[in-house]
Structure 1
Amino acid sequence: MTDRPLRFAQADSREDFQTRIAWYYYVGNMTQQEIADLLGTSRNRVNRELSACRENGIIRISITRPVGACVAAEEALKDQFGLDNAIVVPTPRRPEDLRAAIGFGAAGYLEPRIHDGMKIGVGWGRTTRSIVHSLTPRPLRNIQIISVLGGLSHCSRINTFEIVSDFADLFDADRHFFAAPIYASTEEARDVLLAQDAIRETHELAKTVDIAIVTTGDLSDSLIIEYGMTPKEVVELDRAGAVGDVLGQFVDSRGQLVDHPINRRAVALAINDLKAIPSVMLASGGASKIRVMRALLGAGLINVLATDEATAEALLAAETTGR
């Protein structure tokens, strides 16, 4: 092994550079410091690029045996909330790794259940993106990936259009978009949008999916809050009793829509339509999400939950104490 950095590494694209690091680390069994010395970079950068490899799908990890305590939490969640299935993963040490961990667990559940002829409804967000990046590509026949809500004009990597396209690319699937913003300017404008042929067709198709994959946010940690709303609207929602949103629609602690104009402007599948979908997976976790997750579970809107161990314990404790 040469003591000098490899010159050709300097010409690699970012993806090639990441792949080289992943190869040396997982196949070559080199330490991060050895890789850094070989490529003329820092160990911290090697660590960051390995994390990026897991996020963007260059590295796909398969774990074949579940953790016993997580299995126990899964059974408890199914019993307490009447779920068809629950997926609980170990809580990562670093909070920034939580979405990737939940996405990995959700993908492991979904992979054997995705088959020819399916219609899959997909939301948006960072956890959904992690699910997509954890799935193994394979060609399928007559499969459709359908957006269940409109999009935003920016935050492209986690927007509905990119999520649906990336998901569809995995399985050579047809894709259907809500070609509209998540919020219309008025309730009347929303009705006009939903009456347009292309949007109406997607809206009706979204009601017939075999499985819908959704995430949720609270009033402090939500893409809707971050990109789609004004501070004044956030204050109003809090006063109206909102604990968070699903499909861009805000609910109270009972999982009921709060009385706020923004809910009447949402270009999305109505949350009550979720009850008619055979399988609705909520993929979410974190201490700030407990109240809204509890609300959605209690309202019977979700029948499959993908979360982490700490969140599962908090949900079960909240159920026991009645909080």
Structure 2
Amino acid sequence: MHGADGRASDSGGSSGGEQPPLSARDALALDAAKLAHGRGLSQQRIAEALHVSRPQVSKLLATARAKGFVRTLVLDPRESDRALTQGLRERFGLGDVRLVVPAGRGPADLDHALGVGAAEMLDAAGALEEAALAVWWSSAVRATLESALGRLRVRPGSLVVLGGQERADGPDPAFDAFAARTAFPVHRGPAASVHASLAARIAREEEADARAHEALAREAGVLLFGAEAADPRALARPDLLTHEERAQIREHSVGRVCGRFLDADGRIVAPTLSQRTAGPTLTDLRRRGRTVLVAGGAEQVAVIRAALARRYAHHLVTDLATARQLLADEG
């Protein structure tokens, strides 16, 4: 067979005894794939080089793909804008920035691109080996986890869900589907994020299961969270909001991170609601060793900028258009 650099090696034996020998057809499929993808030859030229028919070349290339001998890597130069990433690092004190460009224009396309970018960031950081990954559930975080399962070389020891999986119409079914198919432990938050009173929240946090969950969250190597619109109707229990809290959110909030509504300067909106909200506080976000904000889109620019200005995230995954807007608005 051939090595990755195209030089010939013995196809009759395994490498260091770790792999079984290739079949003659697999070896021929590899040769066809290298001529097609490495040298850009047409199927007719490949047929002539390998002394096979043209229809056989098509089948050999299909075999190479099916066997996993061929992997497609798309390198988008727009996602490697050094001036833009460096500008974001300097302006917001970020440790790392990952830019993505969605292949489509819909919300699901953006979430998928953000998810892949966040998975690649986590993989490159190598922070998840044997450690828990703490998350505040969102559509972008869900896409990250779905992408990470197939992309991470090092998978987390467990997943600790801090909140965000509850919706006004009930639990997010995507979370339950994800939890059912994962192969590592998933620790779901013990209660809804918003409580009827501060006393109720404190009492719930004193219970044994809540304390155990909090201990797991503190040990997590990474906290991954997204950003959400300033819409109180998206809360699992919007009926718990007071009239004054609703007015404050409507008039001053630009969005939400980890269940906390923020104004344009990253300060808490509706502080009484924040006091009744379980999960990491904004002070917790600043103090954690590694926090990753994965969010993008025109409607999220204001809340992303607010969160970054207050150092609630140490790392950022966002789309190219949002990144440009973040710096343009600061200029």
TM-score by length of 2: 0.68
The structure 1 residue matched to 2:238, chosen from 229, 232, 240, is 229
Give the Å deviation of 1:141: 8.5
Aligned residue in 2 for 1:41: none
The structure 1 residue matched to 2:285, chosen from 242, 266, 274, is 274
Matched, 1:65 2:75: yes
Aligned 1:125-274 pairs, distance under 5 A? 125-137=138-150, 143-149=157-163, 151-152=165-166, 154-159=170-175, 165=179, 169=182, 172-220=183-231, 225=234, 227-230=236-239, 233-239=245-251, 241-274=252-285
Give the Å deviation of 1:114: 5.0
Query: Residues 226 and 144 (structure 1 numbering): CA distance in 2 closer, same or farther, change over 3 Å?
Result: closer
User: Is the partner of 2:204 in helix, strand or coil?
Assistant: helix
User: Is the partner of 2:329 in helix, strand or coil?
Assistant: helix
Q: Deviation string for 1:114-158 (max 9, x for gaps)?
A: 543212111112111111111244796881321222642614234
Aligned residue in 2 for 1:287: 298
CA–CA distance in structure 2, aligned partners of residues 142 and 254 of structure 1: 34
Aligned residue in 2 for 1:83: 94
CA–CA distance in structure 2, aligned partners of residues 62 and 282 of structure 1: 28
CA–CA distance in structure 1, aligned partners of residues 302 and 186 of structure 2: 33
**RMSD after superposition:** 2.8
- Amino acid across the alignment from 1:119: A
Give the Å deviation of 1:253: 1.7
Contact 2:110–2:296, Cα closer than 8 Å, also in 1: yes
Aligned residue in 2 for 1:105: 117
User: Is the partner of 1:180 in helix, strand or coil?
Assistant: coil
How many pairs are equivalent? 252
Contact 2:226–2:295, Cα closer than 8 Å, also in 1: yes
Give the Å deviation of 1:271: 2.1
Give the Å deviation of 1:177: 2.4
Contact 2:301–2:325, Cα closer than 8 Å, also in 1: yes
Give the Å deviation of 1:307: 0.6
User: Is the partner of 1:146 in helix, strand or coil?
Assistant: strand
Give the Å deviation of 1:265: 1.4
Matched, 1:122 2:138: no
CA–CA distance in structure 2, aligned partners of residues 99 and 290 of structure 1: 15
The percent identity for this pair of structures is 23
**Is there any run of 5+ residues in structure 1 with no aligned partner, and where?**
1-60
Aligned residue in 2 for 1:43: none
CA–CA distance in structure 2, aligned partners of residues 63 and 202 of structure 1: 39
Greater Rg, structure 1 or structure 2? 2
Aligned residue in 2 for 1:36: none
Contact 2:138–2:165, Cα closer than 8 Å, also in 1: no
Q: Deviation string for 1:197-216 (max 9, x for gaps)?
A: 11122123323321100001
User: Is the partner of 1:110 in helix, strand or coil?
Assistant: helix
Aligned 1:19-34 pairs, distance under 5 A? none
CA–CA distance in structure 1, aligned partners of residues 303 and 319 of structure 2: 15
